[in-house]
Amino acid sequence: MVQRQCIAATTRAFSTCTLSRPASRTTPPRIHNQLSHQRRHLHQTQPRTTRTPLTHLQHTFPRRNTPKTRTFTTTPARSHGDLTPPKPGEERHVTFVDKDLQHHTFVVADGDNLLDIAQANDLEMEGACGGSCACSTCHVIVESDEMFDRMEEPSDDENDMLDLAFGLTETSRLGCQVVMRKELDGVVVKLPSMTRNMQASDFAEKS
Name beta bridge partners: 113. Answer: 179
- Alpha-carbon distances, residue 137 vs 38, 60, 93, 177, 192 (angstroms): 107, 71, 23, 12, 10
For the chain, the DSSP string reads -HHHHHHHHHHHHHHH--PPPPPPP---HHHHHHHHHHHHHHHHHSPPP-PPPHHHHHHHSPPPPPPPPP-----PPP-TT--PPPPTT--EEEEEE-TT--EEEEEE-TT-BHHHHHHHTT-S---TT-SSS-BSTTEEEES-HHHHHHSPPPPHHHHHHHTTSTT--TTEEEGGG-B--GGGTTEEEE--S-----BGGGGSPP-
Chain-wide mean pLDDT for the chain? Answer: 77
- If you average pLDDT over residues 43-67, what whole number do you get? 55
Q: What is the pLDDT of residue 129?
A: 92
Least confident of 25-39, 62-76, 129-143, 147-161: 62-76
Q: Dump pLDDT digits (tens) for 81-91.
A: 578 899 999 99
> Contact, 84 vs 55, CB < 8 A?
no
Condensed to tens digits (0 to 9), the pLDDT of residues 2-23 reads 555 555 555 565 455 444 444 4
Which pTM does this prediction carry? 0.58
pLDDT surpasses 60 at 50: no
Residue 71's pLDDT is what?
A: 56
pLDDT digits (tens, 9 = 90+) for 89-119: 999 999 999 999 999 999 999 999 999 999 9
* Cβ–Cβ < 8 Å for 187, 110: no
In the predicted model, what is the mean pLDDT of residues 144-172? 95
Q: What is the pLDDT of residue 170?
A: 96
Amino acid 156 reads D
Report pLDDT for 125. 93
Q: Average pLDDT of 182-202? A: 83
List the domains of the chain with CATH numbers. 92-197 (3.10.20.30)
How many residues belong to the chain?
Answer: 207
